[in-house]
Structure 1
Amino acid sequence: MNARLPNSELGQWFVQLKTAIDLHDLAERLGLKRQGGKGNYHSPHHPDSNASLSIFADGRGWKDWSGDAGGSCIDLVQFCRPELASPLAAAQLLGDWYGMPQPKPAMKERAEPARKSTLDYIGERCLAKAEGVIPYLAGRGIDEAVIRRAIQCKTLGWNDWHSAKVAAGEVGHGGAAVAFLVRSGGRLVAVDLRYVDPALNGGVKAQCQGEREGHGWCSDPARLKRARMVVIVESPINALSVECCASSDVAALALRGVGNVDSIDWTALRGKRVLVALDHSDPVNPATGLRPGLAAAWKLSEKLIAADIGHLLVDMQEWDEGEDINDVLQRHGKDVLTARLRKLEPWLVPGMPGGGERLEGTRRVQLPGHDFAVYWRFRVKEDFTQYVDEFKTDDDGKRSETLGDLCSFRVASLSRLRIQSHLATISGAADHQPETVFGISAQLARHGTVLHREVATDDKLYNLEWWKGRFGAIWKPAQFQRLVNLMERAADLGARDVVNFVGLSWKAGALAAQEGQDCYFIEPQKQCLYYNLTFPRGTQQQARTVIQAYQDTFRDNAAAIVLVWGLGTHLKNLLGYYPHFQMQAEKGSGKSKLLESLQTTLAFQVLSGQMLKTDHRRRASVSFTSQPVGWDEFSKLPKTVLSDIDALLQSTYRFEFTRVGASLTPYLMCAPVLLAGEEVDAQSLQSKLCRSSLSKERQGAIIPHDLPVFPLWPWLQFLADVEPARLRDLHRHYLGVCERHSRAPAGDATARRMMENYAALLCSWALLCEFADLDPQQGGFIEDLLAEMNSHIVDTDGSRLPWVWIMEILLSELEARRYDYPHCWDRVKHADGHTEMALFIRPNHVMDHLSTAPHLRAKFDALPVKTGRIFKNQLLQSPVVLADGVEKTIHGRRQGHLTAISLAQLEKLGLYAAPDIQR
C-alpha cells in the first residue's frame, strides 16, 4: 500500500478496475488458452485435459475448479503472474494495460527515491541477462518451462561480470555464472553465483553476495507458500530438478549449504508434508567419519521435530556414491527421479538404515547387538507403524517378509529434555535444579502432518494405557514395548535444554523469546493459558498503524496507555516486577469494544467471571507466561472468591512458584492481569497497578475492523536484544521524571511504588517508539500518562495503606456499637490553645476485635496487616495521631497506652466518624 494515498481513494480505484475490466479480454492478454475457442480456459499452472478455469458474472468473476483460486481481475493477474506478490502490484499492471493508472498522492513534495544497494544493483543486472541461463541449465537436464518460470518470478538470472584487474584463473576474476536470487518478505536478501567454469575464478565454484544464513532459496515464493508438499534439498539446481517432475502443489526449498540448517526458521513449513532429500550419498568426510549431507539431514530432522513438522527422509541407500538429485535427472531422466523421490525411508530412527548394505557413515545411533538384531523389524510409514512378523528366503535368494500392524501412529522422536528451573527462568541465574523428562513426538492420522507432542516422566514410558489415551491404538503390546526400549537408546537425538515459559524469559543466562510450541509442559492445558500460542508476525509499519489507531480511539491516550501496558508486560523478567492494570469504564463508553480490539491486536485472552471461580483456573490463567491476561467483570464474584483473587494478584505482582496436587504439578504464577469493569474494586492493589479510565467524553474514532495485529514476535525479538543494564538505566531515568512531576509528598513510600509502576510503562513506551520508529513525544503520551499517574495518586491518597482500611472497618463497628473494647471521644488541646476532637483507642484492641469477630473474618483474612504492633507503627507514621501513650478514665477504670486519632485528619482521607460524647 502507498502510505501517502488515502485508503478511500485507493479503494475506489480498486473498485473501478474490478467493475470496468472484462475478464475474457484480460485472459487473452494473460495468454490463457481457451478450450475450442469458446467455453472455459485451461489452467496456467498444470496440464488439464478439460479446461478448468471458468469466467462468469458477466465477465467480472472467475474460478479455477481444479483448486480454490478465484475472485476478481486483480486475483486473476496474481494467479497467472505469481511474481506480482501484492494486490497493489497487480492493480498497477492492470492500470497500465487499461488506461486507468493509480491515483497520484495528494502531496506537493515527493520523497527522494532510495538509493539502490549494491545487492539490488547486482540482482537487476542478473535479471536483465536472465536468458543466458537457459542453455546452461537445460544442459543440466532441467526443463525450459521450469527455468522460465523461475526467471518470471525473478529468482533466477545470469551474471557475466568479470574483473578487469584480476587475471583469469585467480580468485576474484569472476566469469559466467548462474545467479540464484534469494528473496524474503518481498525483498532481495542474497544472490548466489554458481560459476560455469570455476577454473577462471581460481577454482572457486560458488560465491554469495548478501546474507548467507537464515534464508533458503525457492524458485517461486508464492508457490512455496501454497504448496501441499515441500521437498528440502541442498542446492538450487537440485530444487529446480525436483520441480521438473513435481506437480504444481509441490515446492522445493534449497538450503544453500548444509550449514544453514540451524539458522532457517522452519515454522513456516508447519502443516505441510515435508520430504528431506539432502545429498545422503555424499562421500564420507575422513575428518568426521560422516557423510555431510546425511549428517545435515539428521540435524534437520531434529529441527523439524522440535517445530512439530512431520517429515520423512528420501531413501538414498542404493544411490551411487556421490550421486545427487541433478545427477539422477541427467543420467536417468524425470521418471526415474520421480520414482526415487517417492521411495521413503521405512526405518524407526530417521536416517539410520536397518537393512541392506551397512554403508560407512550411516550409523546414527550405536545400538548394541541385541537391539540392532530386532531394529530392522520395525517399519514406519508417515502416520503408521508395522512390524515384521515373519520372513524367509527362497532358493533363489529372494527375501520375503510378512508385515503386521503394530500401532496406529509413528513415533517420530523420544528425546531427553532438561527443563530449566523457575529461578533460572525469571532471573537468569545459573540453574541448579533442572528437571529431566522425555519429549515424545508422534505423527497421527487425525493431526495430519503436524506432530502431536506429549511429555512423559519415567513412570509413564512403559504405561501402555498412557500411550493409548494420548496417541492411539496399539495392537502388539509386547513389540511396542520393545520399540520404546529402542527409542530409549536414541534419547540423545534431539536432547536439549528447554524453558517452560511463553513470552520473554531467561534461557541459559540469555534473554529468549518463546512461543507455546517451544515449551514442554507435562499438563499444558492446566499449567499455562497460552500453551499453544503463536505470536503474530508483521512489519514495523503495522506497529505504527496500530499505535496511531489506539491513540485516536480515545482522547488523552486512554486506550493507548492500555496498549502500551499490554506490550510492556514482557519486560517483567527484565525489571523483576510489572504492575497489573485497572481499566474502569462508564456504561456505554466502549469498554467491551476496546477489549475485543485489544484481544485481537495483542493476541491475549480475556476471561469471564465464571472462569475465575475455581482456584486452579485462576492459577492456570497467570502461570508460565509474560503475556497479559484479562479478567472481565471479576468484581461480580462472591466476596470469598474476591479475597482469594486479591491474594493471587498480590503475589503475581512479582512471581510465585508452587506445586499442586498429588502429582505436584508445577505453576509459576507471574502474568500481569488487566482488570476491567464498570467498578473495579482493587483497593488493596493500588500500589501494584496502573490505571486508565474510559468515558463517553473521551471517545474518538472507532478502531477499524481491518486494523492489523501488532507484530508481537518481532517485538519480542527486539526486547530480547535489549541490554538489561540499559533497561535499568532507562527505568531510573523515567522514575526521576515521575518523581519530578509527582504530586505526592516526598516521604510517601506507597506513592513511590506507584511511580515505579508508571515508570515501567514509560520504559515500555520508549522502547516501543524505538521499535516502531516513532517520536516519544507522539500524541502527548508521556504528558497524558503523568497526568493519569497524579490523578491516581490523589484519588487513592486515603485508600492505599492498610491502616486506612482498618480504621474504616473500626469506624463502622463503632457506629453499629459492636466494638466493646475500651475507647472514648474527647478533645485534645494543642500548644497554641486550640482543641480538636479525637478518638482514643488502643491499636492492639482493634486488631483483637477484627480477628475474633465472626462477621469480620473475611475482611480480616484479606488484610495484609494482622498484628496491633504493625497497625500502630503505620498510625504513628501517618499525620492522624495527635498523641500516644495517653491515659484516660473510661467507665470508671483507668486505661493507659491509648492513642489519640484526629477526626479532622481522618476526614481529609474520606473517613468520617460520629463521636458519642457520652461514651
Structure 2
Amino acid sequence: MTPNNNPAMGEWFARLKSEIDLHDLADRLGMERQGRDGNYFSPSRKEKHPSLSIYVNHEKHGTGWKDHTADIGGTSIDLVMYAGRANDPMDAANLLADWYTIPRPSREKSAVPERKSTVEYIAERCLKDTEPAVAYLTGRGIAEQVVHDAIRRRAIGWNTWTSTKVAEGEPGYGGPAVAFIVRSLAGAKVVAVDLRYADPALNGDVKTQCQGEKVGFFWTSDLARLKRAHTVYVVESPINALSIETALQNYPGVAVVAIRGVANTNLDWSWARGKKVIVALDHTDKLNEKTRTRPGMEAAWKVADALTASDIANRLVDMLDWEEGEDINDVLKDHGAEELRIRLKKLDQWLIPGQPSVDADRRHQLNGRQRVFLQGHDLSVYWRYQVLDDFTRHVDEFKDSKDDDGKVSRSEVYGDLCSFRVAGLSRLRIQSHLSTINGMPDNQPETVFGISCQLARNGPHLQREVVTGDKLYNLEWWKAKFGHIWNPAKFARMVNILERSADLAARDVVNFVGLAWRGEELAALEGNDCFFVEPQKQCLYNNMSFPRGSTQNARAVINAYQATFKENAAAIGLVWGLGAHLKNVLGFYPHFQMQAEKGSGKSKLLESMQATLAFQVLSGQMLKTDHRRRASVSYTTHPVGWDEFSKLPKSILSDIDGLLQSTYRFEFTRVGATLTPYLMCAPVLLAGEEVDVESLQSKICRTTLAIAKQGAIIPHELPQFPVWEWLQFLAGIDAARIRDTHKRYVAFCQQRGRAGEGDATAKRMMENYAAIMTAWALLTEFAGIDIGQGDFIEDIIAEMNAHIADTDGTRLPWVWIMEILLSELAAQRFEHPYCWDTLVVDGREEECLFVLPSHVMDHISTAPHLRAKFDHLPVKTGRIFKRQLLQSGVVVDEDVEKTVGRRRQAHMVAISVSKLAQLGLHAAPVFERGY
C-alpha cells in the first residue's frame, strides 16, 4: 500500500524491498543464525531449532524470507515488523531508510500542519525511559522478554508526571506509573494511555487512570501479531494480558487483548472474524451484593454474546475452581507460568456458556454465575450436556471401577449427541420496513429466533440461521442446516433447555445493510447485523463487511478519482456511490448512468469503483429473471451495478424500467408461498454501450467520460475507501442537518440551473444532483479536505445543466407518445382520422398535424406490435396525453374542426411541426393526402 497515492512513495517502497540484503538486515535485527549457511532463529519466540529461511533468487521462492513454523514470510519491511521493530509498514520503511540511506521522497506539505494530540504527547514522554517499567512488571511475575518485546513495539512506557496543583496523597497527584499505550487497530494511532501507579497512595489510593479514550478501544502488546493470530485471549487488564503472554511464550499464532475494564464491552469485534476467541475476564470477582452478579463474569457474558452475534466462535475459561478474587496475574505470581498455562486450557463445557451446574455440596460457587434460572426438571438433566468446540455430547450412564485398594470410583460414560455446538439461541424482534426507512415507531415487528452453531467444516466461524418458532423442533431442519443428530430425543430435550436462554441475548434487530433507522436513530449496519430468514435470496450484501481504514485513505481515494478524469468525471461517480447511503434520510436517491466514448476507460473505472467501494456489478445474465433483479436491490443502500444493460431483450427492459422507477424511493413486497419479504431500494449504476433510460431521466444522474478528459490511471495499490467509518460518521450526524444541507443545494441548483420554473421534471433532476452535492459536502467534512477541492461543485453543476439540455425534448411521456405516433404515420399504420394542413397563427401560416389525442392512445393500446411500448408508458389515456401536449407549448389550437376523408372531425388539436422539430421530433407531413 503506498500512502497518499504518491507514485514516488511507491518507488521508494519498491527500492526498500529490492535493494536491501536480507542477510545483512537479519544481522542488524540481532537475529541468531545456525552456522554460516544455516537458518535463522525466529525473532518472535524462543526455539531450539531455527525455522526462518532467507532466500535470494531462489527457483521456487524467489527473494524473501519465510518462518516455516508459523507459515509467515515476506519482504524486508515484513521482517522488520515481524522482529518487533515497527508497528506498521510506514514505521518499518522509515527505519530501513535510516539504516540503508535510502531517503524518503519529499511530499507536499499539508495546508493545515498536523498537531500532536495530548495523548500522543504523553505517550512520547512515557517511552523515553522504560527501565522502571521493566522492574515493576517483572516484579509481578511477567517474563522480562515479554516486557522488552512490548516496549520495542512501543506498547509500554513509564510515566513520572506529578501535578503541581494537587497535593501529594490526593487523587490526581500522579506519581510513578506503568503506561500502557493504546493504539487504534487501523493506522496504529495513539488513542489513549492507561496508567497503573506503582504507589497508589501517592495518588490518593487511585490505582489506575486513563488519559484519552476509555471506551471503544482495547490494548494489545503487538498489533501485527494480533492480525496474524489464529487464537486470541480476551482479558480485563494489560497486566493480565502480559501474564498470558508469559505463560504462552512459545505458542505461535496466539495473541492477547485487554478490554481495559468491565465497562468497555461495546467494542467492534469485526477484526476477530476467522479467529478463535477465548474469554478470560476476572470471573472470580467479588460478588456485588446489590446486583448479585460478579462484574468480571457479567462482562464476560456480554463479550461472549457480542462475539456470537458477530459470528465469531468463542469459549470461556472455566474458573469455577479458582480461589475467590483470584485473577490471572495472581495465578502467575503464586503458582507460576506452567500452572497458568494448564488453567487457561480448561474451558467452560456447559450448554449455556458461563452457567455451570454443580452438586449440592458446591452450590455456593454458583453465586453470581447463574445467567438464567432453570426449573428443577431442567436442572436435573442440564449437567448431562457437555460441549466441545464444534461437537456436543451427552452423559449416558455412569461406570463404577475399583482400584487396587478396593476404593470404588465413578466415571461418566459419554454418548455422541450431534456433530455441532449450539453457541447461542436468542429471540429476535425484527423491525418493520417502514420504521427502517423513515425512523417512525415500529407497529409491526416480527419475532424469530437466531441460532448460531459452530461446525467442524467452518472452523472458528459460526454459522447463523434464522428460524420461526414453528420450526424450532423440526429436527430435519437442524440436520439440513447444521449437521447430523445421533440422539434425536436427547437433542429435542436440549433445545427445550436452550429455550430458557432465549432472553439472554434477545434484542431488536434491523434487517438492512448500510445506513438505516434503528428505533428513532440512524445506525450503520453490516451483513452480520442482519437476521434474514433466507439471506442469499433477500439481500445481495447479506454477508457484507464494509472496508475499513483511516481518513488518510479517504483523502487518497478522493485525490486519485479527481486525478484520473478531468472535470471530476470519475469523482462524481465515486461521490454518488458514497452518497447512496443518505437515501433513508432524504427519502429518495437517484440511479446513475455512465456515458462514455469508445475507449475512454469506462470499464477500467467501473472495476476501480468496485474495488474502492466493495460493491457488486451484475452481468446481463443475472438480470434476466425477476427474482434475481429483485434480490439485487433488496434491503440495502449500498450501490449495485448492472452491466450489459443494453443487451437485454426488450421485454426484460420493460420490467427493469418499472423496478428502477420504484427503487428511486422504496418498494416492499412479499413473494412466494412463504411470503418472503423484499425491501427494494438500492441505487443502481447502469453500464453498457448504450443505456436507454429515457423514462428514467427524472430519477437518474449521469457523468460523461471522454478520451480528452483522461488523466492518471488509478493505481492498483490504492487503498479501499473506509466505507464503515463513513457510515458511522453519517450515523452520528443529525438527520435534520442533512436534510437542511440538501435544501440549500436544491436552491443553489435552481439558481444556477438552466431550466425554467415550470419544468417539474427538471426540478426533480436538480434535486437529484443536489443529493450528490450534499454527499460531497459531508464527504469533505469526513475526509478533512476543502469543499472547493478540484472545483467539484462547479463541475457537477455543468454536468447537471448539460443533462437538462440534452434531455429537454425527451423527459416527458408526451414526447415518447409523439415519437411513436410520428413513426406510425410515416409507416401508414395509423388508421384513425388525421391530416396535415396549415393554420394561420399570429398572421403567419404554421404547418400543423391535426389529430385527436384519444385516437392516438387508442391506436397504441390496440396495435399488437405496440403492446410492449404501451405497457411501458406511464400515460395511458388520451385526456392526460392532451393535457401534457397543452402544457408543452407545441399545440397552436386545441379545438379545431377539420374535414378528413369527406367527414367532419371536431375537437382536433393542431400540433405545430416547427415546434416539434425544436424538441428533436421530426415529422414528414404529406399535405396532399387526406384520409
TM-score by length of 1: 0.96
Amino acid at match of 2:607: E
In the alignment, structure 1 residue 193 sits paired with structure 2 residue 192: no
In structure 2, relative to structure 1, the CA distance for the partners of 1:20 and 1:665 (3 Å cut) is: closer
Residues of 2 paired with 1:590 and 1:158: CA distance?
A: 55
Q: Which residue of 2 aligns with 1:690?
A: 701
- Report what 1:882 is aligned to: 892
**Once the 2 structures are TM-superposed, how far is the Cα of residue 883 of structure 1 from its aligned partner?**
1.3
Distance in 2 separating the partners of 1:214 and 1:106: 33
The residue identity in structure 2 corresponding to 1:94 is: L
1:581-603 C-alpha deviation (Å, 9 max, x unpaired): 11122222211111111111111
Against the structure 1 CA distance between its residues 207 and 318, is the aligned structure 2 distance closer, same or farther, given a 3 Å change threshold?
same
Partner in structure 2 of residue 153 of structure 1: 153
Q: Is it true that 1:362 corresponds to 2:366 in the alignment?
A: no
Q: Secondary structure at the match of 2:733?
A: coil
Instruction: Summarize the alignment of residues 105-504 of structure 1 with structure 2, pairs less than 5 Å apart.
Output: 105=106, 116-184=116-184, 185-246=187-248, 247-262=251-266, 264-356=267-359, 357-358=362-363, 359-391=366-398, 398-504=409-515
In the alignment, which residue of structure 2 is the partner of 1:845?
Answer: 855
- For 1:330 and 1:544, locate their aligned partners in 2 and report how far apart those are by CA, in whole Å: 49
- Cross-structure match for 1:676: 687
**Aligned mates of 1:646, 1:110 — CA distance in 2:** 47
Give 2:788's aligned residue. Answer: 777
| Structure 2 alignment gaps of length 5 or more | none
Q: How many residues align?
A: 913
Q: Is 1:722 matched up with 2:733?
A: yes
d(CA) in 2 for partners of 1:790 and 1:104? 42
Correspondent of 1:548 among 559, 580, 591:
559
The structural deviation recorded for 1:242 is 0.7
CA distance, structure 1, for counterparts of residue 88 and residue 712 of structure 2: 28
**SS at structure 2 position matched to 1:763:** helix
**1:708-737 C-alpha deviation (Å, 9 max, x unpaired):** 211111111111122222222211221122
- Rounded Cα–Cα distance in structure 2 between residues aligned with 1:119 and 1:542: 23
Letter in 1 for 2:709: R
The aligned amino acid for 1:741 is: R
Cα distance between partner residues in 2 of 1:503 and 1:315 = 38
Q: CA RMSD in A?
A: 2.1
Deviation at 1:894, TM superposition (A): 2.6
> Using a 3 Å threshold, how does the CA distance of structure 1 residues 672 and 31 change in structure 2: closer, same or farther?
same
Distance change in 2, residues 1:28/1:809 (3 Å): closer
8 Å Cα contact 2:4-2:556 kept in structure 1? no
- Over 3 Å counting, the alpha-carbon distance change for 1:544 and 1:119 in structure 2 is closer
Residues 582-621 of structure 1: matches in 2 within 5 Å?
582-621=593-632
Task: Tell me which amino acid in the other structure corresponds to 1:56.
Answer: Y
The offset of 1:453, in angstroms, is 0.5
**C-alpha displacement of 1:459:** 2.1
Q: Is there any run of 5+ residues in structure 1 with no aligned partner, and where?
A: none
Correspondence for 2:47? 48
Tell me: CA distance 1:17–1:555, structure 2 relative to 1, closer, same or farther (3 Å): closer
Query: How far apart, CA to CA, are the structure 2 residues paired with 1:513 and 1:285?
Result: 35
Higher mean C-alpha displacement, 473-482 vs 770-779: 770-779
CA distance in 2, matches of 1:266, 1:478: 36
Partner of 2:922: 912
The 2-side partners of 1:114 and 1:820 are apart by 77
Partner AA of 2:917 in structure 1: E
Q: Secondary structure at the match of 1:57?
A: strand
In structure 2, which of residues 704, 710, 713 is the aligned counterpart of residue 702 of structure 1? 713
Go from structure 1 to structure 2 and tell me whether the alpha carbon gap of 1:58 and 1:686 turns closer, same or farther (over 3 Å shift).
closer
Compare 622-631 and 705-714 and name the one that shifted more.
705-714
Q: Is the 8 A contact 1:5 1:104 kept in 2?
A: no
2:23 maps to which residue? 24
Provide the secondary structure at the position in 2 that maps to 1:835: strand
Deviations 1:423-480 (A, max 9, x none): 1111111111111111110111111101110110112211111111111111111111
For the residue of structure 2 that corresponds to 1:601, the secondary structure is helix
Q: Distance in 2 between matches of 1:145 and 1:531?
A: 45
Write the letter of the residue equivalent to 1:806: I
Query: Distance in 2 between the 1:536 and 1:61 partners?
Result: 29
| CA spacing shift, 1:118–1:714, aligned 2, 3 Å | closer
Q: Any conservation in 1 of the 2:4–2:553 contact (CA below 8 Å)?
A: no
Supply the distance in 1 between the matched residues of 2:621 and 2:781 (Cα, whole angstroms): 40
Of the structure 1 ranges 407-416 and 778-787, higher mean CA displacement relative to structure 2 is found in 778-787
* Shift >6 Å, 4+ stretches: 1-5, 109-113
Verify: 1:860 aligned to 2:870, yes or no. yes
User: Within 2, Cα distance between the matches of 1:638 and 1:74?
Assistant: 53
Q: Retained in 1: the 8 A contact 2:70–2:252?
A: no
The SS at the match of 2:687 is: strand
Distance 2:134 2:778 in 1: 50
1:429 partner SS: coil
1:607 is displaced (CA, Å) by: 0.9
Distance 1:907 1:36, change over 3 A: closer
What amino acid does structure 2 have at the position aligned with 1:244? T
AA aligned opposite 2:818: M
Q: Tell me, yes or no, if structure 1 residue 834 matches structure 2 residue 835.
A: no
Instruction: Provide the rounded CA distance (Å) in 2 between the counterparts of 1:2 and 1:630.
Output: 28
How many Å apart are 1:101 and its aligned residue?
4.5
Alpha carbons of structure 1 residues 370 and 744: separation in structure 2 relative to 1, 3 Å: same
Q: Which moved more, 1:368-377 or 1:654-663?
A: 368-377
Q: Counterparts of 1:45 and 1:718 in 2: how far apart (Å)?
A: 38
Alignment CA distance shift 1:13-1:874 (3 Å): closer
Please tell me whether the aligned partners of residues 5 and 106 of structure 1 are also in contact (alpha carbons under 8 angstroms).
Answer: no
Change over 3 Å in CA distance of 1:111–1:590 after alignment to 2: closer
Shift of 1:243: 0.8
Instruction: From the superposition, tell whether residues 392 and 291 of structure 1 become closer, same or farther in structure 2 (CA, over 3 Å).
Output: farther
- Corresponding residue for residue 7 of structure 2: 7
> By how many angstroms is 1:25 displaced?
3.3
With 70-79 and 425-434 compared, the bigger mean Cα shift is at 70-79
